Structure 1
């Protein structure tokens, strides 16, 4: 019997399994590095964005900063459901804002006024009293991500409307002349609301840390396989 044939089948299985896992681990490490680069570019874009726009740009330049004058449309207040802060569940309050100076086909823009804590009872919605008269909103434009929803939720025709996703197409169908991005307020207009959103949910440094872990696991497998074959060869 040859030396190769005398190596136990279980050890060959471990070696083959490790060889199959190594490309996956290396790919996961590379993917985490790519995600880190994407997050770094997003942070740079956020930090270098224009902050002096007094009109809505014709093209999407989110996350540019804007300062606009107009008034809130009081017929509909959208409550974006299942928004958590510090372990507490609540809503983000989103209201259509009519511009004092309308631009081409745009006369409305959605404004995210901030987060409000929800009640422990689902049938009790928070009380929102919108400011009246002409207002000045200052914040950043944010383009909502495309949504994936198996079944569309039912929206009430008016008043406090609880929604599960910020569907800009559905909002545009309800509000003519709606701008395709949302303004997130820099400072709260109402005392019970909280503003401030993380630019990224996971920092580039954390992605790099995960990449190091995946590459480390691949290195452990390579080292383990090498040691196993070397030890087996010495034993023969």
Structure 2
């Protein structure tokens, strides 16, 4: 009687493909995670691209007076005529090109309305023991910029606040205390306390603007995705070489073909 050993042989061959089951189980758990992180970064890149497209669309509109707007929306271009007061906020821990400094917010009065304007960034003084000197025109000026939510500007936690009360009067300086900062903002009697105006670079009263509209660009998220996918590919290669007999089997088959077996 002839016995067919093919099923047993096939089962042995299939089992022999795996020689390290702990590494196999670890790889099987990590691979979906790495792939999921890669696709998540791609989704983030697409989301940031949509956000930037919306911002570009809004910033491309003609600047208007806030009084003529039916609705206040972030990144809406505005243009106002008025004057700066001596009320300044210095927002701490703001950076430009890796340098630490402050963003300067100043009250601007236009048509009887009081707005908080973010004029941009100034570098910190050496040692950070004194605040940088910021000047402003005393005459009425046109300013152009765009609307931006006050919460995102960090106005609830100013590093310091100054009131220029006149010649020879020492300005008041307060350290960064969130609750006090909120009280000070309330005392400014802003007409739109939920909003600031970020100056455009072409405003002659603007400091260093260089506004970042998103914390990470779509290209950076895409780069992160490539890294995650590369790690997934490296994991597969590691699994093949460290946990299976496939490389040895391929090498053995090539050797047999080369010898005409």
TM-score of Structure 1 vs Structure 2, range by shorter chain: 0.7 to 0.9
Contact 1:22 1:218 in 2 (8 A): yes
Tell me the equivalent position of 2:41: 32
Instruction: Say which structure is richer in strand.
Output: 1
Task: State which of 195, 204, 213 in structure 2 corresponds to 1:189.
Answer: 204
User: Is 2:78 the counterpart of 1:66?
Assistant: yes
Asked if structure 1 preserves the Cα contact closer than 8 Å seen for 2:99 and 2:123, the reply is: yes
Say which one has the larger Rg. 2
Per-residue deviation at 1:178? Answer: 3.7
For 1:130-169, what aligned pairs fall within 5 Å after superposition? 130-144=136-150, 158=163, 159=171, 163=176
Relative distance call for 1:135 and 1:24 in structure 2 (3 A) is same
Query: Alignment partner for residue 119 of structure 1, among 122, 125, 136?
Result: 125
Match of 1:213 in 2: 227
By how many angstroms is 1:147 displaced? 8.7
The aligned length equals 221
2:66 counterpart (55, 58, 76): 55
Q: TM-score, normalised by structure 1?
A: 0.76
Q: Distance in 2 between matches of 1:145 and 1:122?
A: 25
Map Cα deviations across residues 182-213 of structure 1 (whole Å, 9 max, x no partner): 2111135348x322323334321221122122
**Aligned counterparts of 2:181 and 2:149: Cα–Cα separation in 1:** 9
Gapped regions of structure 2 (runs ≥ 5): 1-10, 164-170, 253-261
CA distance in 2, matches of 1:154, 1:233: 65
